[in-house]
Amino acid sequence: MEKLVIQGRTRLEGEVTISGAKNAAVALIPATLLIKGVCTLENLPNISDVQIQCEILKDLGATVEWLDPNTARIDTTNITSHKAPLDKTSKFRASYYLIGALLSRCHNVEVGLPGGCNLGARPIDQHVKGFEALGATVDVATGKVVAHADELVGASIYMDTVSVGATINIMLASVFAKGTTTIDNAAKEPHIVDVANFLNSIGADIRGAGTDIIKINGVEKLKSNSTYSVVPDQIEAGTFMLAAMATQGDIVLKNCISEHLDCLTAKIIEMGGKVIESGDEIRVTCDKRPKKTNIKTAPYPGFPTDLQAQMGVVLALAEGTSVISENIWESRFQYTYELIKMGAKITSQGKTAFFEGVESLSGAPVSATDLRAGAALIVAGIAAEGTTELYNLQHIDRGYENIEEKFRKLGANIIRIRE
């Protein structure tokens, strides 16, 4: 078992380079199945979700060669199976992208049900609705997803709820579908645009990604031998911006796209922090205790649920009482019970949590209840007086590259211990 031991209280200062986006990378890797050839992906984050996605591709017959820790050359010329193994797909959520990609490539799919963080119910009915509209039969009754299509034909699909996964999955399934597919009420996250940009760069015809309506005109085939660089991770960037706020620090983030973080920047300024944007850098400084604010999570460009827990740490330390409404996942306040062990004053009921800010937190043994909760608890440990021991690190390793190394370079006293 591994744990992080964090000695607080540290003001974080210095520079940090942001990695490629996890939630783009885990979609781009299965998207290479559509190529029937070679493709090089650069700026892949070196995290376990990316490694597992590549392992599954190898199980399907692809070859994956790592040119360096962040660059993979993927050859999908010979795909020998359309069945992705349950033991691997159940380890993470984004295995659902194999359904859309394999439907496109093989017209047949057998994929174990996706796993991932326990954030409450995580239905895939909108994915299934999209595949069926394109002409597939989909069976999810047996603990796995089995889908087949004699032929995929473009259709108009209205999403009942804004879903990142369903939007990307339908894009993947419709790249070769006959005619035009329209996705109405589509998700608009930067990783949706990144996947569309990648597919368009190799010959797909996808228009409107980043807006509510995406149109996909079916094409015959995609080009081989291209190179594509994954978009910077706005959630990792946001995590470090909030770490600057929680520790009243001064952090310069390199390799990020500030427009992707507009909603967070507005909140940081509201709380009394300063944000200076310049090219692909963002500097966040905070020289006094942050002020209270209220947060309502929403699909992009609203406040991301994936930064809710990190913001919760700042609000636990802010002046006054703040309110967070979590509108995407029903079980995303589990971290608040860990923060309470560190002296935070938080009460939650259903979708709402109230944060009565305290002047300081105290180190304690705590557990990462999910990926973003884990990152938030690292920030809490750095801001807290005394020693924090953080367990359940496998959640954090799924989504953050070298996280303790990055925090160490900013001055944090943090080590990983294998017991």
| 117 catalytically annotated | yes
289: three-class secondary structure by DSSP = coil
- Quick check: 195 and 184 in contact, CB under 8 A? no
- For residue 300, the minimal CB distance to ligand EPU (Å) is 7
Residue 40: strand pairing partners: 73, 227
- Quick check: 2 and 393 in contact, CB under 8 A? yes
Q: Which C-beta is closer to ligand EPU: that of 136 or that of 252?
A: 136
CB-based contacts of 185, cutoff 8 Å, min separation 6:
158, 159, 160, 161, 162, 212
Distance (Å, whole) CA 22 – CA 27: 9
Residue numbers of the site for ligand EPU (CB under 6 A)? 23, 26, 93-94, 117, 121-127, 161, 163-166, 187, 305-306, 328, 371-372, 399
- For residue 183, the minimal CB distance to ligand EPU (Å) is 13
Q: Which C-beta is closer to ligand EPU: that of 121 or that of 418?
A: 121
Q: Which C-beta is closer to ligand EPU: that of 138 or that of 315?
A: 138
CA 236 to centroid of chain Cα atoms: 9
Residue holding tokens 């996705």?
Answer: 183
Pairing of strands 2-8, 413-418: antiparallel
Distance (Å, whole) CA 70 – CA 128: 32
Crossing angle of helices 371-383/334-341, nearest 10°?
20
Pairing of strands 108-112, 144-148: antiparallel
Q: What is the number of alpha carbons within 13 Å of residue 330 lying toward its C-beta?
A: 5
How far does the chain reach from its first CA to its final CA, in angstroms?
5
Out of 39, 54, 117, 256, which one is annotated catalytic?
Answer: 117
Dihedral angle sign, alpha carbons of residues 273, 381, 51, 302:
negative
Q: Which C-beta is closer to ligand EPU: that of 233 or that of 404?
A: 233
Residue 306: strand pairing partners: none
- For residue 394, the minimal CB distance to ligand EPU (Å) is 13
- Quick check: 133 and 155 in contact, CB under 8 A? yes
Strand positions, DSSP E, 91-172:
108-112, 137-139, 144-148, 156-158
293: left (phi over 0), alpha (psi -120 to 50) or beta: beta
Q: Which C-beta is closer to ligand EPU: that of 164 or that of 403?
A: 164
CB-based contacts of 350, cutoff 8 Å, min separation 6:
none
- For residue 296, the minimal CB distance to ligand EPU (Å) is 14
Distance (Å, whole) CA 5 – CA 407: 13
- Quick check: 323 and 301 in contact, CB under 8 A? no
* Residue with the shortest CB distance to ligand EPU: 165
- Quick check: 39 and 225 in contact, CB under 8 A? yes
Catalytic residues: 117
